[in-house]
Structure 1
Amino acid sequence: MKPFDPELLRRVPDARTPVAVLSVTGVLSGAVAVALAVCLAWLASTVVTGGALTAPLAWTVALLVTRGLIAGSQESLAGWAGQRVASGIRSQLLRRWSRLPEEARPQPDEAVTRATDGVAAIEPYVARYLPALVAAAVVPALSLVTLLVVDFWSALIVLLTLPLLPLFAALIGKHTEAETRRRWSAMTDLAGHFLDVVRGLPTLVAYGRAERQVDVVAEVGRRHRVATVRTLRTAFLSTVALELLATISVALVAVAVGLRLAYGVMDLQAAMTAILLAPEAYWPVRRVGSEFHNAADGAEALEQLRDDLADDGAPTTPRPGAPDGEVRVVDVRYHHPGRPDILHDLTLTTSVAPGLTALTGPSGAGKTTMLELLGGLRLPTSGRIEAPHAHLATQVPLLLPGTVRENLALASPAATDGEMRLALDRVGLWQALILREGLDTVLGDDGFGLSAGQRGRLGLARAVLSEAPLVLLDEPTAHIAPDTIAALRTVVLELARHRRVLVATHDQVLAALADEQWQLTSPPPQTGDGDAPDAGATTTAPPVERARVGEGAPGAQDGAPQQRRRRSPRGRLALAAALGGLATASGIALTATSGWLIVEASYQPVVLTLLVAIVGVRAFGLARPVLRYAERVTSHDVALEGLAASRTDTYRRLIPLTPARLGRRSRGDVLTAVVRDLDDISDEQVRAIVPAWDAAIASLVAALVVGAFLPRAGLVVVAAAVLAFLLALLDQRLEQSAHDHVVSARGTVHRVTSLVTAQLTQVQAVAGLGRADRLVDRVDASQARADRAARRLSRARGLTIGATWLVVAAAVGSVAWLAGAAYTAGTVSGPVAALVTLTPMALAEAWTGLPDAFGARARAHAARHRLSAMFEQSPAVAQEAERHGIPATEPDPAQQHVPTLRTDDVEATWDPAATLPDLAATSLLVAPGERVVLTGPNGIGKSTLLAVLARHLDPSTGTYHHDAHEIRDLPLAQVRGRMAIADDEPHAFRNTVRANLLLTRPEATDAQLLSALDTADLGDWLGRLTQGLDTRLTGLSGGERTRLNLARAVLSGRPVLLLDEPTAHLDEVTARRVLERLGGTRQSVVMVSHDLIPDGWAEVSLRTEGSVPVRGDRSYSASTQERSVRSVAGSASGMGSVT
């Protein structure tokens, strides 16, 4: 990690102008500070000699006003510069990644962290650190030249001691570098963990593991706190070292000046100038050290992004086109890291002329991987692929939050509304949308608001609108009602009349209609290492409940102090505020006492009479950095501890809202709230509460000291302090409205960036490799809105800072005038007059820091409001039983019976504000051990009924019974403990196969794990894994992910299985095997399916047409048909649909 890498300005052109502008203003500010030191020495000397104050007072006030103008401009420019560079880097990253296949990019979770938190960390590096670095190269030289004119010996001392500061900074920084790298790793791990947990929260809730994960979230937060505090201790220690070196160096100047004054060989004004000017030579170097540690994450982020920002001529496509009119796959092998080959020495050829090519084979044979390779989304391990630009409609279509029109425009921005409506009508989706808002229908994250089948239809409509010469379709007839599949086959055939279409499918009818077929076969199982290993005592923890928290976590030695520190955070925060106030007061005392000492020495007294003052100066000089170090460590430790607790509490509060309220909510919003808004709330302690009390304590001490010698001057200090606080409060009010827009805009940037980055492969599938700029344009547009909001905020801050400097100017001028008058009148001595004159200037740093402090309060308030809005939602399930004292323990699956499930006229909705229910009035009876299949058109509530049965969503009307008990009278954990739900959006945690399975049953043996995998027809798949059950999951196909989810449900041993499209992504042979093995269980099964179910598999088959249930006629015999009618005919004509 270098202090400065010139490559930044070459690789990020957007950084050049901001850095140059801020550097110029930084140098100007330093020059004004040097001139101000000279004028202030002139003013103090004039006060204690009884001279005319008009000229020095005018110059001093004018320079203070000028410094205020520059400081306000710097604040405004810093906000502009940071935002501009961050947005430029973010856009540059996404545009480069959009041109690269998946293997050439960071992993999605890492990419999200780099493009959001990583880029945000660069802002202070560019806006604060780099300008400070330039100023540190110029201002000390300017100070030295000025000091040389004033006093040669003082200049020589500064010249000899000044190089020690960067030397020590470099030595200490070497240790900080390693600590910062560890912190970056911890931050990345934390972000990845939260992403994994939030996405998998519906699964954790369904299997009763979410509460157990609370401790894991807390442990990960603790690790993050420990790593951060270690880094900060080192960083703050280096700051203390630099300040001590500067203090000792200034003391050497003071000793030399004092001795020459005492012997009468030096002028008072020259001595005062040397004393006030010497610190200005060291201050820019000290500031660089401080800013570097504040921007250390930004420096590390730039190091991490070095390759991603390189303009190295990386190809925009991983394979050549097809100049001779053929799509070629030549000797292609492909495997995921650490996994065996999915495709092995594959050679295939087809024409790019219009026509239909079917890609068939069993689940897991690599059909999806083959389409991604043809689309250029992946690089083959070996071999060559030649194909033109392609559009890929994936199994789970990319649907971003926004309107249907916006999602269709991802593939064809030039498409008209008429063309969009026609495409939607062709795929059978327009009639459903016209009942809502048509093309303006708003979709949530992952297409929330549409069923799985409707999402697939929208993806197919997008393929119809695409202009790509090669169209790749992955399971276009999955999740589709059987009686409408024929219409979609017609759409595919019509599409193939104009373009080459490659379709991966298990639909044998569609495959038979193709001009040609590519048949893929599963690779043979691996031998030896592929055998499943023993479970072992260390592998029984659920996913994300052990790894990433156990390894490398601090030991017991970190734990004990942690427990002691947690006992009184408020007390420690008060201690930090007191330490900060004493540190600032020590700085003020140092300046004032130095002034007193210099004037007293000019009278040439006996040196022994100055010892008390000399000791005081030394004590104040040493106390200031030590107290500041203690304040920073204490306040940051309290804040980080509170941040970890807040994150844990936020996760805990998400649990009752999941999945109905947050299960499909935009996860970017959730992550923004948890990671960014909680940071702002935590920062209030360090950046607002402590600095505000710091300034208040220091102002009070200064006012008491000054007032003791000159009461009217003390009143001026009090009045100035009050004005400074009032200006800060005004700034908070001004920033508050701006912060509402900033937080909202920032959340939008984070959400859109997270969505685009995490789903970049799907973005490329829709827009094409190297053609995803319009998606990045959405990020740029949201960033532009955030930039405008941030500029308004920084302008308000700049104006307040400038106004505060005017208060400082007024206080310095007024107190100097009063001190001069008092000295002339003989009411105070010369040394006291110097002490009083210099005190207001010493308060400038504390007062001008108040706008930042109250700005942090504004940020925290806006973030707190954002979180409150999220948690104002009421849970979708009532917990009446728990409120009445009924135990909420989860039942043991091995000891519970199979309940009878009955719904009577149940209606339900996902959105409490919706006017129409997602599930119309429905009555259903499921006897113990019965298998029920729910079929019907897409979008009429079949999945909603499963959510009601699983108690993820309570009925808005009607009743739901388990045996004789109304559902609300039973503890929530007891009801959910009887249900194992495998929904249509299965989540695989970033962990091993074993850990993903043990999630549902931690005590399961290897034999039980293998049996569950065999039931889900994953035995051969497991045999191909190099490490068996201990293989970390990567690159699962849709079918594999679905069957793993099914295996979890089977392994749970719960008496009722609720399955949503469990065979949608499976070929017919595999689907039959899975259903046969499910048929051998003793559990009740309620399954939503659009696939043909083998005769005799289900006792009850319910089909819906509109709102009237229709008896199925293909999955039960005459004897079971009679019982099925009794099961659903409870309410005759008043019964609604089973949807």
Structure 2
Amino acid sequence: MSGRRHPRGRSARTGPFDPRLLEALPATRGPVAVLSVLGVLDGVAAVAQAVVLALLVAQVVGDGPVGPVLAGLVGLLALRGLLGGAGEYAARRAGQRVSGQVRLAVLRRWSARPEEERPPTDVALTRATDGVTALEPYVARYLPALVTAAVVPALTVLVLAVVDVWSALIVVLTLPLLPVFAALVGRHTQEQTERRWGAMALLGGHFLDVVRGLPTLVAYGRADHQVGVVREVGERHRAATTATLRTAFLSTAALELLATISVALVAVAVGLRLAYGAMDLTVGLVAILLAPEAYWPVRRVGAEFHSAADGATALAELAADGVLDVDDAPDVAAAPAGNPPALGPVDHVGLHALSYAHRGRSRTLVDVELTTPASPGLTVLTGPSGAGKTTVLELLAGLRVPAAGSVAAPRAFLASQRPVLLPGTVRDNLLLVAPTDGSDATLVDALRRVGLWDDLAARDGLETDLGEDGFGLSAGQRARLALARALLSDAPLVLLDEPTANVAAGSVPLLHRAVLDLAARRRVVAVTHDPDLAALADDRWHLEPVPLDDPTAAVPPAGGPARSDAARGRDEGTPLLGALRGRAGLAAACVLGGLSVGAGVALTATSGWLIVQASTQPVVLTLMVAIVGVRAFGLARPVLRYAERVVSHDVALADLADRRATVFARLVPLTPARLGRRSRGELLTAVVRDLDDVVDEQVRVTVPAWSTGIATVVGAVVAAWHLPSAGLVVALGGLLALGVGAAGYAAERAAQGTVVAARGRVRHTVTALVTRLLPVQATTGLHADRTRLLGPVVDGEHDQLRAESRLAAARGATTAVLWLVVAGTTAVVALRVADALAAGLLSGPYAALVALVPMALADAWVGLADVAGARARARAAAARLDRVLGQEPAVAGAGRRRLAAAAPADVRWDGVAASWPTDVGRAEVPPDLLPTDLDLPAGSRVTLSGPNGTGKSTALAVLARHLDPAAGRATTAGTDVLELDLAQARSRIALVDDEPHAFAGSVRANLALAAPGADDEEMIRALRTVDLGHWFATLPDGLDTPLTGLSGGERARLSMTRAVLADRPLVLLDEPTAHLDDATAERALAGLDGQVGSTTTVVAVSHRPVGPARDWPQVTPGTVRALAAAQDGTRPVH
């Protein structure tokens, strides 16, 4: 493996080009080579165009034959159209192919590395999605521009030297200043871009975190508050981006200004020699029109570098991660560093003198010594929650790198507490571990052995569609599916993390038999709190938490210090920018853009007049007005362009921050029933990428369209002032270009929907993989073939490439036709000017002025192809966004009645049934909760029991007001729940989910969302109430310690702590003790039961009642027709 490594969080700085991209990924070389050739050919055509255009103007002014020269110019413009169209097609395909290859390389590498050798999740997600996508302009635009800049200026100087050696000498002396200046400014731009990437990672990680935890935020009434936080984070991203763009745009403007001054030096020398009769007009025109072509490729490199700065930064970050190391091929899973499990035969499984600490924790395991035979058998690992049992399994599987000591273990399969289920079918998820020839019969047999096949057969069997995180299956069904994978795996070591948790008691013996079947053929190490399973073991490990007074307990985390927050600084910009926002700012940007393009038209036309006028050898003072005008237009163009870009981007970014918060607010009523865990990747696509495209319409559509329109009007007026027919032709050419752009929009609009959908599928799949990479690795192992795992990504990339190819064909055709419009307009205007000159209606200098107007508008007109494409993309993204946000909430919020603060928390159901919303167009399915009656007086304690899939969690969702009853009537305090104010109804309920979310942040922040006014003493007391006192004592910074490395039991008790702090009259518990040993579970549940008070109603879902819950009445949803008062201690018959 290569020794090139860089500190995490710091990019490896690269020069203008990092060859490792092409070396590591050979498939990228062909597209880059094709683009480079097309770019050089287009540059050569531009040089020839400048020469022929000068000859045409000279012929027009000299009243010579224009036909042959005009035909040559039209042919060159048509050739540029073909090259431009081919370049657009090749660029889009190249960008997509390269980004797809890099994304797969990234996923292959990260999936073969332990957690300590990967970036943190929020950073990884940004790099694998936006970061890899940012490589597209880097590859498609910047690299070809770099090749063009290496060839075309030299060719231009050579041609110029043949025409006028003195002009060539000026170019040779001034041209090197541009790359030097660009490098100096580019270094500062790269630093700014790195800070912006910190802000992007913060934004992406924050939004992912709040989307994951949105049900918790909704349950505790903190979702609306989070809208403001989303707006603040978006504003921070805007500030960081604006600061970067100001630097980038300023450097681009400076390069353009420097090039303008250099061309002006050539013009001065040419003009003076023309005025004194020392130069022929044709030579002078060639020199003046050819000189800019020497500077244009270098300016383009600067502009494209700034446009691709995100790609350059992303490439540097990926290089720092080792993705581009040639000797570390991305599709070969190299052994991880540190002390990985042995890959060869071993005679035992164990940890030797091993120590480990999670990031942000002072200790997790210290000097652990555990050994068991590698031969077939069952080893159980027991110990209290938080002792590090899950961490032991992850170390045995090679998913983590110990800080000290060693691991001995063969290749392993790990069924984790929260098994990863990727979007797709049951078959897809089983085939991640099944042998290559795994038949349907083999898969069905494994499902039967864990008691899951009958449930799936009632749906779509192996084709049953699963959402993200197994949305559609209960927690117990997900656990069984994980055990079925273990049966299918051929790994010699099977690691099971609480295989019977969340499973109905009646099904546990079946799972015991499945575990014993595994142990008869392989070594099984199982973490369990199930005493019956422990009794079946032939070997036992026990783990205790690290003693608080152990002087050796502080262990440095293997992955180094936790990543610090990036981009905390704020850049509010100038007061003027703050005032120019909204419609006023957008209008100002349009005017500035129009004036900038208009200044360019005026510069070209005035320069033509000046050169031709100088050739008549007038008194030099008579040229001063024109000279001043040329200077003013030359200076105004880059300055106005800079102002337009800064204003338009600041307006768009401010709008983006505001819209992102608004969109988040619209998600709140849809949570969780309409969104669910299955939509997380889709939400990230909609609210991050699609919303970017919608807002991008302001910068890439509105401003350039209006700018082109304003400049066209200016050009038409200038031409019409001297020759009305020419002005009319220019106006008609502008209208024709607009019509071609509209046709291009129509062509791309049809394809953009497919592109946006394909892109969304790729992002959805990548998000699911990256955010659950540790459990994914647990399932597939670090050294397995990645073909099946990455198959959906590969398929998605192929679909996107096909869609992008259709889009690129439409864009290329639009570009080519627009060049033909330029050619036609130029030809007609040139002919009209020649006729007017012959008729004596126009002088020579003004003939040059009018003839050059269409070519001065060429770039703006051809740019309408990009405008059309951006609008099509924005419309398609808006439609996708509307599909997500346009759903009706699953909970009616029309109720206005409010209960008194002291109203009792009694619950009565009469035949209540409910269903989770299904996908649009899906056939009707039976309700998830069959009609159920409940009668719970205030202060009741009751347990919902029954087999997996009977609707227990659905019943809790109805009680929590996350679902409306589909049938029957539900009341609390004698009032129909549908008539109550939704926010107040939820404010009376505390919910402990079956997979509680711990937000990225401190312990204090995680607890404060349930009780914002709680002080430190109350928080610490609540932690001790649910038996988290020992855990809290290990935190290095107390309540300010970031939450990392939580076990399943710790996570559940943290959620119980929230319920204690919230002090609400109704408490709902969904499998609160599933990941706890009996002693810990009894202490935690007894603490909660005693703390919430006798008037608080508690409803729990549990397959393993412990402590006080043993005495609670049990209810099976869908079967109980009546329930006596829980307070009298009777149990209903069910």
1:300-346 deviations in Å (ceiling 9; x for gaps): 11111113212455842423235243223221111112323322222
In the superposition, relative to structure 1, how do residues 434 and 559 fare at CA in structure 2: closer, same or farther (>3 Å)?
farther
CA RMSD of aligned residues (A): 2.1
Give the corresponding residue for 1:342.
364
Q: Is the 8 A contact 1:524 1:1024 kept in 2?
A: no
User: Is residue 342 of structure 2 the alignment partner of residue 332 of structure 1?
Assistant: no
Structure-2 separation of matches of 1:846 and 1:321: 62
User: Is residue 565 of structure 2 the alignment partner of residue 564 of structure 1?
Assistant: no
- The match for 2:908 among 898, 902, 909 is 902
Structure-1 separation of matches of 2:499 and 2:598: 72
Correspondences of 1:390-789 after superposition (within 5 Å)? 390-412=412-434, 413-526=436-549, 552-554=568-570, 564-566=579-581, 569-771=582-784, 773=786, 774-789=788-803
Give the corresponding residue for 2:868.
854
Give the corresponding residue for 2:561.
none
Give the counterpart letter for 1:676 in structure 2.
R
Identity among equivalent positions (%) equals 56
1:887-945 deviations in Å (ceiling 9; x for gaps): 7xx99xxx645421111111111115643211111111221111111110101110111
Q: Is the 8 A contact 1:764 1:771 kept in 2?
A: no
Structure-2 separation of matches of 1:32 and 1:588: 21
1:499-529 deviations in Å (ceiling 9; x for gaps): 2111110001100011111111121125899
User: Is residue 163 of structure 2 the alignment partner of residue 153 of structure 1?
Assistant: no
Structure-2 separation of matches of 1:452 and 1:1110: 27
Give the counterpart letter for 1:1053 in structure 2.
D
Structure-2 separation of matches of 1:1100 and 1:60: 91
Q: Secondary structure at the match of 1:463?
A: helix
Give the counterpart letter for 2:859 in structure 1.
E
In the superposition, relative to structure 1, how do residues 1093 and 319 fare at CA in structure 2: closer, same or farther (>3 Å)?
closer
Give the corresponding residue for 1:824.
838
1:769-815 deviations in Å (ceiling 9; x for gaps): 12151212321221111111111111110111011111111111111
Structure-1 separation of matches of 2:1007 and 2:1108: 31
Give the corresponding residue for 1:843.
857
User: TM-score scaled to structure 1, two decimals?
Assistant: 0.94
Q: Is the 8 A contact 1:36 1:64 kept in 2?
A: yes
Q: Secondary structure at the match of 1:497?
A: helix
- The match for 2:375 among 350, 353, 361 is 353
In the superposition, relative to structure 1, how do residues 324 and 703 fare at CA in structure 2: closer, same or farther (>3 Å)?
closer
Give the corresponding residue for 2:112.
99
Give the counterpart letter for 1:490 in structure 2.
R
Q: Secondary structure at the match of 2:541?
A: strand
Give the corresponding residue for 2:9.
none
1:1007-1056 deviations in Å (ceiling 9; x for gaps): 21122112221111111222222211111111111111111111111111
Shift of 1:1116: 8.6
Give the counterpart letter for 1:379 in structure 2.
V
Give the corresponding residue for 1:18.
31
In the superposition, relative to structure 1, how do residues 218 and 1080 fare at CA in structure 2: closer, same or farther (>3 Å)?
same
Structure-2 separation of matches of 1:988 and 1:196: 9
Structure-1 separation of matches of 2:256 and 2:320: 36
In the superposition, relative to structure 1, how do residues 763 and 830 fare at CA in structure 2: closer, same or farther (>3 Å)?
same
In the superposition, relative to structure 1, how do residues 907 and 802 fare at CA in structure 2: closer, same or farther (>3 Å)?
same
Q: Is the 8 A contact 2:1078 2:1106 kept in 1?
A: no
Give the counterpart letter for 2:695 in structure 1.
S
Shift of 1:562: 6.9
Shift of 1:687: 0.5
Shift of 1:269: 0.3
Give the counterpart letter for 1:923 in structure 2.
D
User: TM-score scaled to structure 2, two decimals?
Assistant: 0.94
Shift of 1:1110: 9.5
Q: Is the 8 A contact 1:1079 1:1097 kept in 2?
A: no
Shift of 1:206: 0.5
1:847-874 deviations in Å (ceiling 9; x for gaps): 1000100110000000000011111211
Q: Is the 8 A contact 1:681 1:863 kept in 2?
A: yes
User: Is residue 234 of structure 2 the alignment partner of residue 214 of structure 1?
Assistant: no
Give the corresponding residue for 1:542.
none
Shift of 1:1092: 3.2
Structure-2 separation of matches of 1:617 and 1:977: 69
Structure-2 separation of matches of 1:1031 and 1:559: 37
- The match for 1:1011 among 1009, 1012, 1021 is 1021
After the TM superposition, list the runs of 4 or more consecutive aligned residues in structure 1 that deviate by more than 3 angstroms.
311-315, 526-531, 557-566, 895-898, 912-915, 1092-1099, 1106-1112
User: Is residue 284 of structure 2 the alignment partner of residue 277 of structure 1?
Assistant: no
Shift of 1:347: 2.0
Structure-2 separation of matches of 1:157 and 1:617: 19
Structure-1 separation of matches of 2:578 and 2:1086: 55
Q: Is the 8 A contact 1:695 1:847 kept in 2?
A: yes
For structure 2, the 5+ residue unaligned runs are 1-12, 555-563
Shift of 1:168: 1.6
Structure-2 separation of matches of 1:761 and 1:20: 38
Shift of 1:1079: 2.6
Structure-2 separation of matches of 1:954 and 1:563: 45
Q: Is the 8 A contact 1:376 1:769 kept in 2?
A: yes
1:1083-1109 deviations in Å (ceiling 9; x for gaps): 2110000003346754422235x7456
Structure-1 separation of matches of 2:716 and 2:803: 39
Aligned length: 1094
Structure-1 separation of matches of 2:516 and 2:888: 48
Shift of 1:558: 5.6
Moved more, 294-303 or 4-13: 4-13
Give the corresponding residue for 2:335.
316
- The match for 1:377 among 399, 421, 430 is 399
Give the corresponding residue for 1:544.
none
Q: Is the 8 A contact 2:381 2:525 kept in 1?
A: yes
Moved more, 63-72 or 701-710: 701-710
Q: Is the 8 A contact 2:121 2:205 kept in 1?
A: no
Q: Secondary structure at the match of 1:344?
A: strand
Shift of 1:554: 2.7
In the superposition, relative to structure 1, how do residues 146 and 359 fare at CA in structure 2: closer, same or farther (>3 Å)?
same
User: Is residue 813 of structure 2 the alignment partner of residue 813 of structure 1?
Assistant: no
Correspondences of 1:846-925 after superposition (within 5 Å)? 846-882=860-896, 896-911=902-917, 914-925=924-935
Shift of 1:958: 1.2
User: Is residue 1129 of structure 2 the alignment partner of residue 1120 of structure 1?
Assistant: yes
In the superposition, relative to structure 1, how do residues 529 and 232 fare at CA in structure 2: closer, same or farther (>3 Å)?
farther
Shift of 1:1111: 8.1
In the superposition, relative to structure 1, how do residues 284 and 1048 fare at CA in structure 2: closer, same or farther (>3 Å)?
same
Q: Is the 8 A contact 1:896 1:1055 kept in 2?
A: no
Q: Secondary structure at the match of 2:134?
A: helix
Q: Is the 8 A contact 2:476 2:501 kept in 1?
A: yes
1:621-659 deviations in Å (ceiling 9; x for gaps): 111111111111111111111111110111000001111
Q: Secondary structure at the match of 2:213?
A: helix
Structure-1 separation of matches of 2:731 and 2:263: 30
Give the counterpart letter for 2:390 in structure 1.
T
In the superposition, relative to structure 1, how do residues 470 and 1011 fare at CA in structure 2: closer, same or farther (>3 Å)?
same
Structure-1 separation of matches of 2:127 and 2:1122: 53
